Amino acid sequence: MRIATWNVNSVLARLPRLVEWLEQATPDVVCLQETKVGDDAFPADAVSRLGYQVAHHGEGRWNGVAVLSRVGMSDVAPGLAGDPGFPDEATREARTIAATCGPVRVRSVYVPNGRTLDDPHYAYKLRWLAALRAAVVPDAVAERPFAVMGDFNVAPTDDDVWDPAVFAEATHVTPAERAALAGLRAEGLSDVIPRIAKGPHPYTYWDYRAGAFHKGMGMRIDLVYANAALAGAVKDAWVDREARKGKAPSDHAPVVIDLDL
């Protein structure tokens, strides 16, 4: 079984690339982030022709998450219990959706960016990650294979950014953000990619500006955190850098996991 996660940075802008990638990579389950469309505008017909069911949680021009599955889909759960919202609970953003797809359960997440350390969005990010930790506990300890995966907007270690000095006094690398990831691991989840991915720096994101991709100026912020049942079934894992090349790519590359279940 093959599962994957990809921040497409607008599913409509990236639709030809997405369809081509689905045809070539043939994943069974895909978590998408930053779809930037409402539920009615998601191009479900384009992927259903390839055999995928779609569960989408969107709000329009910002955010938006989805799960695509060609192995069935049930128990779809959009949103996050305890979501703090921004600027308050009355405004909850479309940042996560969970679904059971065949033998696995997945949760697609698009964690708030945080913007700057003195921005209210940074405190919101930490509150949102705390809510995510609480929400994943039942799946983390379950016998059913489970992964929470997507764009976490946090680089777990200094090795996950191209130059730690560049990120001093910036979000994505602060002790508090990394502690939030450690909290997820404390609930029984493990970071799949460092254990098995080939190469010293499996970056997943490169800014569009200044030729960052070609210069290797990347970050690893798209993560797959798996419970014991799924982590033990991982046979291969990689970042599909080819999907970051060519015309009109996303600024993220897909992360792909092969499982033997």
| Token code pair at residue 255 | 């992360």
Determine how β-strand 53-57 pairs with β-strand 65-69.
Answer: antiparallel
Q: Could you give the CA distance from residue 134 to residue 115 in angstroms, rounded to a whole number?
A: 24
**All domains of the chain in start order, with CATH:** 2-259 (3.60.10.10)
Q: Could you give the CA distance from residue 6 to residue 26 in angstroms, rounded to a whole number?
A: 14
pLDDT at site 197: 65
Q: What is the DSSP letter of 63?
A: -
At 6, phi and psi to the nearest 5?
-155, 125
For 39-52, write each residue's pLDDT tens digit: 999 999 999 999 99
Residue 74: in which H helix or E strand, if any?
A: strand 74-78
| Cβ proximity of 30 and 38 under 8 Å | no
Whether the upstream peptide bond of residue 87 has omega within 30° of 0, thus cis, is yes
Q: Could you give the CA distance from residue 89 to residue 136 in angstroms, rounded to a whole number?
A: 20
- pLDDT band of residue 112 (cuts 50, 70, 90) is very high
Collapsing DSSP states into helix, strand and coil, what is residue 109?
strand
Mean pLDDT for 219-234 is 97
pLDDT at site 66: 98
Mean pLDDT of the chain: 96
For 229-248, write each residue's pLDDT tens digit: 999 999 999 999 999 999 99
Q: Taking the model in full, what pTM does it have? A: 0.97
pLDDT at site 198: 61
Of 89, 9, 27, 50, the closest CA to residue 240 belongs to 27
Q: Could you give the CA distance from residue 75 to residue 81 in angstroms, rounded to a whole number?
A: 15
Mean pLDDT for 101-109 is 98
Q: Could you give the CA distance from residue 196 to residue 255 in angstroms, rounded to a whole number?
A: 12
Exposed, middle or buried by CB within 10 Å (0-12, 13-18, 19+), for 199? exposed
- pLDDT band of residue 201 (cuts 50, 70, 90) is confident
**Cα atoms in the 13 Å half-sphere on the side-chain side of 24:** 11
The answer to whether residue 200 scores a pLDDT higher than 80 is: no
* CA dihedral angle for residue 111, residue 116, residue 117, residue 123, rounded to 10 degrees: -40
Of 91, 94, 93, the closest CA to residue 66 belongs to 94
Q: Could you give the CA distance from residue 187 to residue 182 in angstroms, rounded to a whole number?
A: 9
The answer to whether residue 84 scores a pLDDT higher than 90 is: yes
